[in-house]
Structure formats: structure tokens, C-alpha cells
């Protein structure tokens, strides 16, 4: 059983796997190479956000926004490390590559959040996120409870990864809306950029599951 599973995961249908990996990489790279606003535009927007931020430091609405911003900042930083473990545990090279690409993208998300804090005239601070902590622990449980080099493990990792993506999509979508409501246009733009990338990753994971992983896992 182990020989058949390894063959399917590592060497089966190389041309088909390569094609899918290229498509996934193209999707991820598109987000990374998206044109950025000019430095003068960013500076102007940053000054505007700082000014508006000074007008509402004691607003409960503003405090809610900052609390959630610190929450997702912690989550993204923790996720960088967790994705490294998931990538090493993945059976198929295609899934491993997709996770590796998203780990690189997540590092950029951390940097982007730091730009959000800067735009608001705040020091970047992290607040422990119990939700993300639980999702990361669930991913580790999948690794512990499944056989190495199995498609069942890959199916479980994809489920956990998509749960993480859905949490991030909900968070970034809400933060973008709140930022827009408070008139932080540059902040809303940065959050919207990350939101779009999280949605792309979720679609890619679905494609991986439906194209091969689930079928191979069911056959084990």
C-alpha cells in the first residue's frame, strides 16, 4: 500500500502535476506583482489617515478596529511558522509548492499590516489570536493523526488550510469595511489587496482538492 501511495504522490502523471503547479504559481505571482501606488500618493494617504486617526483615539469604534488589527497581525506572524510545518508534511509536490508560495505571501501580509499601523501613526503590536491558535493546532493534529506520504494527510491539510483562509477572508473583509467607514483610504486599500490574495489562495486549494487529492485519498 505504501509503495502504491508514494508512486501516486511523487511520480504519478508528472506532466499533469507540473501544469497545475504552474497555474497555481501564476495565480499567486499575479498578486505579488500587482502595481503599487506611487510613494507620493502613499505618503499623502498616510498623512491623511494619521490626521483622521488623531481625531478618534478614544472612539469605541476605532478601538474595536485597532483590537482586530492587532489580532490578525499576531495571526499572520504565527501562520508563517505553521505553514512551514504544513509544507514539510504535505505528500504531493503540488500541495507543498502551493503552501510554500502562500508562506512567502503571508510574510508580505505581515509587512503590509506593519504599513497599515504606520499609516495610522501607530506602532505595530500583536495581540494573541485564540481563533488562529486553534486552527494551527488543528493542522498539527491532522499531521499527527495521519500516515506520512498519504493523500489522506493532504486532504486533511487542505481542509485546515481552507479554514484558515476563511477566517482571514472574514477578518480582512471586515477590517477593510471599518477602515473605509473611518475614512482611512490607504489602509482600506492595503487591506483589500490582502483580502484579494486570500481569496485567490482559497480558490487554488479547492482546485487542488477537486483535481486529484480527494480522489486519491478516497482510494487509500
| DSSP-assigned letters across all residues of 17-31 | HHHHHHHHHHHHHHH
Once rounded to an integer, what is the mean pLDDT over residues 2-29?
Answer: 40
Q: Tell me, yes or no, whether 197 lies in a domain.
A: yes
pLDDT of residue 7 exceeding 90, the answer is: no
Task: Give the domain range for residue 102.
Answer: 40-219
Residue 100: give its domain's CATH number: 1.20.1260.10
Q: Tell me, yes or no, whether 32 lies in a domain.
A: no
d(CA 169, CA 173): 6
Q: Tell me, yes or no, whether 13 lies in a domain.
A: no
Q: Cα 33 to chain center, whole Å?
A: 17
81 and 58 Cβ atoms separated by less than 8 Å: no
In percent, the amount of the chain with pLDDT more than 90 equals 73
Q: Tell me, yes or no, whether 173 lies in a domain.
A: yes
pLDDT of residue 16 exceeding 50, the answer is: no
Q: Tell me, yes or no, whether 9 lies in a domain.
A: no
Q: Tell me, yes or no, whether 31 lies in a domain.
A: no
pLDDT of residue 69 exceeding 70, the answer is: yes
Closest by Cα among 151, 140, 138, 164 to 211: 151
Q: Tell me, yes or no, whether 19 lies in a domain.
A: no
Query: pLDDT tier at 58 (50, 70, 90 boundaries)?
Result: low
Question: In the chain, how many domains are there?
Answer: 1
Regarding pTM above 0.85, the answer is no
Of the given ranges (37-46, 114-123, 205-214), which has the lowest mean pLDDT? 37-46
Of the given ranges (36-45, 105-114, 174-183, 207-216), which has the lowest mean pLDDT? 36-45
Once rounded to an integer, what is the mean pLDDT over residues 53-64?
Answer: 75
d(CA 11, CA 33): 31
Amino acid at each position: 500500500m505504501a509503495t502504491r501511495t508514494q508512486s501516486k504522490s511523487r511520480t504519478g502523471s508528472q506532466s499533469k502535476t507540473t501544469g497545475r503547479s504552474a497555474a497555481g504559481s501564476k495565480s499567486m505571482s499575479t498578486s505579488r506583482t500587482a502595481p503599487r501606488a506611487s510613494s507620493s500618493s502613499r505618503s499623502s494617504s498616510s498623512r491623511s489617515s494619521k490626521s483622521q486617526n488623531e481625531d478618534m483615539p478614544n472612539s469605541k469604534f476605532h478601538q474595536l478596529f485597532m483590537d482586530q488589527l492587532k489580532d490578525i497581525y499576531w495571526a499572520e506572524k504565527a501562520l508563517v511558522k505553521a505553514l512551514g510545518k504544513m509544507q514539510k508534511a504535505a505528500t504531493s509536490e503540488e500541495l507543498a509548492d502551493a503552501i510554500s508560495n502562500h508562506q512567502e505571501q503571508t510574510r508580505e501580509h505581515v509587512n503590509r499590516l506593519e504599513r497599515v499601523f504606520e499609516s495610522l501613526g501607530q506602532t505595530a503590536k500583536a495581540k494573541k489570536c485564540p481563533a488562529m491558535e486553534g486552527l494551527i493546532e488543528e493542522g498539527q493534529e491532522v499531521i499527527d493523526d495521519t500516515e506520512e506520504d498519504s493523500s489522506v494527510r493532504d486532504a486533511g491539510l487542505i481542509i485546515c488550510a481552507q479554514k484558515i483562509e476563511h477566517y482571514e477572508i472574514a477578518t480582512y473583509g471586515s477590517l477593510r469595511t471599518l477602515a473605509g467607514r473611518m475614512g482611512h483610504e490607504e489602509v482600506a486599500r492595503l487591506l483589500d489587496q490582502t483580502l484579494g490574495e486570500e481569496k485567490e489562495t482559497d480558490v487554488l486549494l479547492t482546485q487542488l482538492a477537486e483535481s486529484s487529492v480527494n480522489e486519491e485519498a478516497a482510494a487509500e
